[in-house]
Amino acid sequence: MTDLHSHPLDGLRAAPDPRDPRAPALLIPHADGEPLEGRAVVLGIPYDGGIPSRPGARFGPRAIREALAGFGAFDGEREVPSAIDLGDVSVPTMNGADAHAAIEEAARRVFASGARPVFLGGDHGITGSIIRGLAAARPDARLGLVTVDAHLDVREYEDEAHLSSGTPFRRALESGIGDGGRTAMIGIRRFANSRYYLDWVVERGVHLATVEDINTHSATRSARAALYRATEGADALYLSVDMDACDAAYAPGVSAPGIGGLSSREMIDIVRTVAADGRLVGADIMETSPPYDQDGRTARLAARLLLEILAARP
């Protein structure tokens, strides 16, 4: 008789090598009743209903998790602490308003639990609902926001049923805890934004670091400057990463690929710098689109950025 506590493939599969721990082992399923206060958690949001073209980002959370298999758990200096994997939110896909209401409620519960989440998407419109959820859980917070994105993503929208991947940061600034003076956008790319929306963010005091700025001053220095602006007067910090900030040569598997973006090295340096700030309460990695990521390089970069965020946590 088989031992009920044994694995059916014991003796027929390679045992994990304790001398070389692998990154997938860092994501631990959540046990019922286990407190989340102060814990790093990962939550997938497989929704891409707000992408006007090239759908596929709903498969991003799974691809990022799978890409972790290519990494170890030690970066040469730091052992990455484990995180609780809460699985994926069950998102209604036929109605945008219902989808975003479910995402906002999921974010509210996670932030109310005291966890420190990293959300995996999914279209970038999700971030607006995540920050609305944070505002519901912590209405008195003074949030600093750093975005890594080629786009401003402050488009106007009619109502909750018409949210898109271009609306998240307008919604963040409307949340009650956001403010233009505590918002910094890194990686803005030429020929990717309109004058109308550029004027809109400048009028609100948003700090912008373009790809050219980063090329001149370095990714780390640009990230430090953005962090300084975003955290002045803030008691909480949120980091939002759109994989389309990266040049299509490094990250082709995104919803809106572009030429002249950041390198993968620059993306890593920016995320590492921002994630190290002790005020970070949450982060997300959005717009990985596996149908356009034929060799998996975008998912691998997203997984590396996830590891950088987790490694920065105490």
Q: Structural domains in the chain?
A: 39-312 (3.40.800.10)
pLDDT in tens, 264-275: 999 999 999 999
How many Cβ atoms are within 10 Å of 227's Cβ, its own excluded? 24
Residue 167: per-residue pLDDT: 87
Q: 68 with 24: CB under 8 angstroms?
A: yes
Residue 6: per-residue pLDDT: 54
Residue 1: per-residue pLDDT: 43
Whether the pTM exceeds 0.85: the reply is yes
pLDDT in tens, 101-147: 999 999 999 999 999 999 999 999 999 999 999 999 999 999 999 99
Return the closest-CA partner of residue 62 out of 41, 86, 87, 29. Answer: 87
> In which residue ranges of the chain is pLDDT below 50?
1-4
Whole-angstrom distance, CA of residue 254 vs CA of residue 185 = 19
Binding-site members are 124, 149, 151, 153, 242, 244
Whole-angstrom distance, CA of residue 87 vs CA of residue 48 = 17
Residue 243: per-residue pLDDT: 98
Q: 48 with 103: CB under 8 angstroms?
A: no
Residue 8: per-residue pLDDT: 56
Helices 60-67 and 297-312 sit at what angle, rounded to 10 degrees? 70
Binding-site members for Mn(2+) are 124, 149, 151, 153, 242, 244
- The secondary structure of 150-216 as a DSSP string is SS------SSGGG--TT-HHHHHHTSSS--GGGEEEEEE-TTSS-HHHHHHHHHTT-EEEEHHHHHH
Residue 197: per-residue pLDDT: 96
